[in-house]
Structure 1
Amino acid sequence: MNTSALIDSLHPLEIRVIIALGSRPADTVLETESLAAAAELEPSQLSMAIEWLLAKSLLVVHAETVTPIVSLTKVGEQYVSGASPIERVFSAAREVTSTGKRLTIPDLQAQDGLDPSDVSKAVGRLKKEGVLLIVQGGCIESTGRPSPTVEAIRVLLQQVNEASRELKSFPEAHRQVIEDYAVKRGNAKEPFRVDDRVTRSFRLSPAGVAAAEHLAKEGVAEEVSQLTPELLKDGSWRNKRFRKYTISLRAPRIGTGKKHPYREFLDTVKTKLVSMGFQEMRGSLVETEFWNMDALFMPQFHPARDVHDVYFVKHPTHAAKIAEPFLSRVMQAHQDGGKTGSTGWKYAFNAERAKRLVLRSQGTAVSARTLASVPAVPGKYFSIARCFRYDQVDATHATDFFQVEGIVLGEDINFRTLLGLLNLFAREVAQAKEVKFLPAYFPFTEPSVEMHVRHSRLGWMELGGAGLFRAEVTLPLGVTVPVIAWGLGLDRMAMVALGIHDIRELFTDNLDLIRTTRGIF
């Protein structure tokens, strides 16, 4: 492209940047702020013009400097007028030591605005500095020494609150404190933020110099975007510069409306089950321990109960009552088997504990309530239940998840029927290519089985458990026919069906990921 054609392709913003640099001595170098002032452009306008000129090789980056800048977070701004956790712990320790009172870590954690992690970090730091001692009984005492960290944090909060500053402008000791208490990935509750400010300087390339000389010699004609009747009548169009249009550019992508892939998956699962003749069961997110565990013959003392690490409701803590005759029947089944033909668990059933309110930890609680509500025989029921368990979040675990829960009642129902249904779900719903069954133990089913499917990247993955409900479950709830039941992790089934490798992506708000995740069925 010759210089004249190149000039015709330039945007007015690009021309202003070239003129600003070209009107100065050769090899002039200007930083971003100086260049914006010289070209009389807003920062956003200058940024666009620079990127365009760099792409056209009319401008080159002379130097790039990265400067860490310290500022306060919202948390830090609160600490300016209040006190940081380490200051509060330090002050509390000195106060109780001077008065002879006792202070423990749980006492500190109970104070408003102090998280356990904040207390742990503060105590650890102060103990390392020799400011605090942990004495007999787990009590905290002050040694009377000053804390360099506490003093530094108070000074830094005041200084940075006045104006953001370069990290290198602080003394070495203060820099270390800033880095220790700066926001990091996975830890946003810190008072300081360190951001990199990138400063670049630019100069014209040889082609840019030639373009600047051409503009200085020929001048810049006024640019218009439309050819109007007035321009044609008086002939003034001859002295105008018309904006160029590049028809080879790709049109911008239009993001059309679309269901979230996981929402679509859940709707499809429901549609398939309804089309198979299943009726939907519904239940509350908040359940009593009775329906969540006791009605399922899970003993109140047994380690199997620990698998369902539940979240307890803070207020109210207990339900007013449990419906009869189910409470009495289930209590009897636990204690001596009642009329189930079992010997039970042989312990004193705690009816008060059965009223304890929890967040539902398994969809089987919905099945238990359905069995107690005189279901149709034969009958098929399902529920898409959101469940909650205390768990470590990783690629295949979450603290809340969806289960597809189901029961089938009938005189001719058996274990073979169950395996056939599980295999159908794995292949039709999860779109799994490989399925296997392993023996398992659950307090409420016998025999019991676990279903596993192979994920394309994560390998074999457990989807959930199933089995035939024991008589200790069905008879106290008024059901006398065989019942098969299953509870499968819908989140993991969706990972296989949607080709997702991390369970957290099912709940993402990343629009690009939502738009590009392939659909199902």
Structure 2
Amino acid sequence: MQLPESQVAVLEAASADEATSVDALAEATDLPPETVTGAVFELEDEGLVAVDERVDETIALTDEGREYAAEALPEVRLYEAALEAGADTDPVQMGQVIGASGLEGPQVDIALSNYARKGYGTIDSGEITADSDADPDADAEANALATLKGTGETPRDAVDVDADTLEQLDRRGLVGISETTVREVTLTERAVTELMAGIETAETVGQVTPELLTSGEWEDVEFADYNVEADAEQFEGGNVHILRQTAERVKDVLVGMGFQEMEGPHVDADFWINDCLFMPQDHPARTHWDRFALEEPTHIDDLPEDLVDRVERAHKEGVGEDGEGYHSPWDEDFARALALRGHTTSLSTRYLSGEQIGEIEPPARFFSVEKVYRNDTLDPTHLLEFFQIEGWVMAEDLSVRDLMGTFEEFYAQFGIEDIQFKPHYNPYTEPSFELFGTHPTTGELVEIGNSGIFREEMLEPLGVECDVMAWGLALERLLMLMYGFEDIRDIHGTLCDLELLRNTEVTY
């Protein structure tokens, strides 16, 4: 029997009595692991070896995980500081507790996002409480970090940590989980028989090279057999992401409905993002754990002074004879603070005020399909960044029926005709309502957007003298209704399901 040199080397190094790993065979034969792997599969096809595959998991703490294993989890430090401040008796100002905890930078947000989740207490309106019955010593994540401390890479089955806790630590980036495919080889009876009879090394060539052709040696060498029945290696080409394809489809639909597209910065002043929307500066959505503020630069320099004065007056005094405003603090320095936009309505305020492209005369229709950023808790329907379908119509005598009819026409273009509406409250629209659609797989109602008629307190400072109806719709939720996705993390982000994306048929 004749075999290529690499296959002969593998057979001679392998054993019929015990399995030998590919790495061990590579070391014994002095061949690269990939060469040994190829030879093993070819020998398996010939019935000369049996190959057993398994996936080994190893776990190791990340740098952040090692830091918390040595010091304490941020939420535990926050809880201990809250107890020291007496928050188990009465609510305490959160700034005081954070300062006492010694937490800085991102650790503050980490502590706040995990504090209530673990039952250490509550956080509400800038105050914190501590549950005296909470027990940090029973914190499963903290105990798991202590177990893994100083172990380096450890086999998963050797770690006494439950799967849910390990998954949570992995999601927080405190542990790294590595998967390695281990292949072990055992000689078959046929291989033993052939080895005893003697196997010759075949001087074969597996590939035609330029050197063989130019030297003429190709006429004298023996080429290896080409297995036309072997599975070819699969190559996955690039493709436009289904989310981007749907975004382009949305743009086409809205342009077809007579809308023009808006453009603007992803980083903007709180003035454009919230103050122009008649959002009070003490609104919970404007706190640092709901938005992503910029560290450098921190503030915008250029804001239209007259508009700033009018917006401030609307917040403090209201608009019109019956307007009262919020009677709450209004700080121009806060309005100039820069942050990643939490909604694309910042584009709407720029355009409606005339600052972006000049004064706009009614009737007018504008839209955008752009990314927004929110410090939400990740779950099947929420991400830290997502795409919002922003739109507004400026005209005389608009009504809620006009708004509902616009939605029905828009969603019908995507085969969705069961939109439901629910009254809602927004600081910047009145009346307001949320939109819901029925998920095609689960049958549950899924919130897909928010809308309403802009309030006078918002429009008057911007210089708009007619009605404006507006909305913010979620592009990812539209995909859920179109394709039956149940978890938006499957379609984009680090956990996306590539096979799902490759095999989903795009609908037009």
TM-score w.r.t. length of structure 2: 0.70
> How far apart are the structure 2 equivalents of 1:114 and 1:304?
20
Q: Is 1:517 aligned to 2:504, yes or no?
A: yes
**1:449 partner letter:** F
Aligned to 1:423: 408
**1:344 partner letter:** E
> How far apart are the structure 2 equivalents of 1:348 and 1:468?
24
Q: Report the secondary structure of 2:191's partner residue.
A: helix
> How far apart are the structure 1 equivalents of 2:54 and 2:492?
39
**1:520 partner letter:** T
Q: Quote how far apart the aligned CAs of 1:394 are.
A: 1.0
> How far apart are the structure 1 equivalents of 2:148 and 2:202?
59
Q: Is 1:258 aligned to 2:245, yes or no?
A: no
Distance 1:44 1:470, change over 3 A: same
Give the share of equivalent positions with the same residue, in percent. Answer: 29
Aligned to 2:477: 492
Q: Quote how far apart the aligned CAs of 1:392 are.
A: 0.3
Alignment: residue pair count: 443
Aligned to 2:424: 440
> How far apart are the structure 2 equivalents of 1:301 and 1:182?
36
Q: Report the secondary structure of 1:408's partner residue.
A: strand
Which protein is richer in helix relative to its size? 1
> How far apart are the structure 1 equivalents of 2:460 and 2:107?
50
The answer to whether the 8 A contact 1:309-1:389 is kept is yes
The answer to whether the 8 A contact 1:296-1:443 is kept is yes
Aligned to 1:50: 40
1:464 to 433, 436, 449: 449
Structure 1 residue runs of 5 or longer lacking an equivalent are 1-6, 94-103, 122-148
The answer to whether the 8 A contact 2:55-2:179 is kept is no
Q: Is 1:483 aligned to 2:468, yes or no?
A: yes
> How far apart are the structure 2 equivalents of 1:447 and 1:183?
41
Distance 1:280 1:213, change over 3 A: same
| 1:429-482 alpha-carbon deviations (Å, 9 max, x no partner) | x54353211122212222212111122235321111111122222222211112
The answer to whether the 8 A contact 2:4-2:202 is kept is no
Distance 1:294 1:167, change over 3 A: closer
Q: Quote how far apart the aligned CAs of 1:311 are.
A: 2.6
Structure 2 residue runs of 5 or longer lacking an equivalent are 78-96, 115-143
| 1:164-208 alpha-carbon deviations (Å, 9 max, x no partner) | 89999xxx9xx889x999996335445x98888958462x32333
Q: Quote how far apart the aligned CAs of 1:67 are.
A: 9.1
> How far apart are the structure 1 equivalents of 2:277 and 2:306?
15
| 1:53-112 alpha-carbon deviations (Å, 9 max, x no partner) | 335432236x99999989x77749x98xxxx555568xxx9xxxxxxxxxx985664579
1:56-205 maps to which residues of 2 (within 5 A)?
A: 56-60=46-50, 75=63, 106=99, 109-110=102-103, 156=150, 185-189=170-174, 200=184, 202=186, 204-205=187-188
The answer to whether the 8 A contact 1:285-1:359 is kept is yes
Q: Quote how far apart the aligned CAs of 1:485 are.
A: 0.8
> How far apart are the structure 2 equivalents of 1:182 and 1:45?
36
> How far apart are the structure 2 equivalents of 1:48 and 1:376?
70
Pairwise CA RMSD:
4.8
> How far apart are the structure 2 equivalents of 1:439 and 1:336?
27
The answer to whether the 8 A contact 2:480-2:488 is kept is yes
2:293 to 312, 317, 325: 312
Q: Report the secondary structure of 1:342's partner residue.
A: coil
Aligned to 1:135: none
1:202-213 maps to which residues of 2 (within 5 A)?
A: 202=186, 204-213=187-196
Q: Is 1:275 aligned to 2:256, yes or no?
A: yes
Q: Is 1:294 aligned to 2:275, yes or no?
A: yes
> How far apart are the structure 1 equivalents of 2:464 and 2:193?
91
Aligned to 2:486: 501
Q: Is 1:388 aligned to 2:373, yes or no?
A: yes
Q: Quote how far apart the aligned CAs of 1:513 are.
A: 4.6
